Amino acid sequence: MSDSTLSQAPPSLRGVSKSSSPSFADLLDDAAFLSLEHQLRLEDVVGQHDWHVDLQQPRFRFTGAQELACTGVHLLGSAAPGPGSWLWAWANPSGYPEAVTALSAAVRDFGREHGIPELAEPEVPFGALPGAPDHPRVVAALMTEAAKAVAGRWTSYTAEVGSGTHASFMIEHPDFALPAAEGPRVMRVIQEGLSGLPLRDVRRALYSYGVRRGLTAEFDPSGSRLDLSGTAFQATVGFDEQGRVSTIDGKMSGGEAEQA
């Protein structure tokens, strides 16, 4: 996988150049809202389901309400409670095919280039991650979110695979593609994200969402308001002096407004 497939994090909000290296925490914020929207899309597509994976083929299938065979599957890694660590797929001694682990290796290369040890080291202790989480599911989620911001791949599946270990996969299928950005959907993602995502820098997270979603994203000179606009809507997010969201206003092309 060439470096051209990797997404750079958006520039900092206050004067840091685009070439400045993001931290692991920055990557989590950069991925937050767009990852949420893709996971909502995945739920809509597969509904109630069972899943089956064969990494030697490789093949990842959903059965149940909607039968679907993914067109691509990438193992990112696994979080195991025994050693209390995350193991990247590229470092796993199980001998998985290179096609399955190449994405994790590309994330590793980005981590080495930008000095992000959580991405560069083969094994990462739970305690080295933000908040020192102790549950494998939480650890797998954190590592997956950071990897999404680097790789520009957004649909993931994380599940227990035995003895409390949680494995994380990036999966691909044309049906997982997001529809065109529309006001009600963008407002839903913003509102659900603000109420449920563990954001460190909400201004960065919302700006990154706008840029990566293909919206026009602009701060006012004071940095206290962010305008996100698409072809038929505009969402304006206001921030208080601590950078917390104070207001959200949405306006559709027909003139109707939505507030939160």
The helix (H) or strand (E) run that includes residue 190 is: helix 183-196
Residues 153 and 216 in one domain: no
pLDDT of 145 reads 98
pTM here is: 0.90
Pair 203, 168 in one domain: no
> Exposed (0-12), middle (13-18) or buried (19+): which is 48, by Cβ within 10 Å?
exposed
- Helix/strand/coil for 48: coil
Summarised one tens digit per residue, pLDDT across range 223-257 is 999 999 999 999 999 999 999 999 999 998 755 55
The pLDDT score that the predictor gives to residue 8 is 38
Residue 150, both tokens: 């680097």
The answer to whether residues 127 and 83 belong to one domain is yes
* pLDDT given at position 248: 96
- What pLDDT does residue 253 have? 75
Residue that is last in its domain, among 176, 195, 228: 176
Token pair for residue 231? Answer: 């072809």
- Looking at the 3D structure of the chain, how many domains does it have? 2
Domain hosting residue 205, numbered range: 183-259
Q: Distances in Å between the alpha carbon of 165 and those of 39, 84, 179, 224?
A: 21, 10, 34, 43
pLDDT score at 12? 36
Mean pLDDT by 10 residues, the chain (260 residues): 35 39 97 98 96 96 95 98 98 96 98 98 98 97 98 97 97 98 96 96 97 97 96 95 95 62
Handedness of CA 19, 200, 145, 62 (dihedral sign): negative
Same domain, 69 and 193: no
Contacts of 20 (CB under 8 A, 6+ apart): 11, 12
Query: 204 and 152, same structural domain?
Result: no
- What pLDDT is stored for residue 65 in this prediction? 85
CA distance 153 to 55: 19
Are residues 225 and 166 part of one domain? no
Q: Which of 142, 176, 210 corresponds to the end of one domain?
A: 176
pLDDT of 26-68, one tens digit each?
999 999 999 999 999 999 999 999 999 999 999 999 999 889 9
Q: What pLDDT, on the 0 to 100 scale, is given for residue 257?
A: 52
Peptide bond into 58 cis (omega under 30): yes
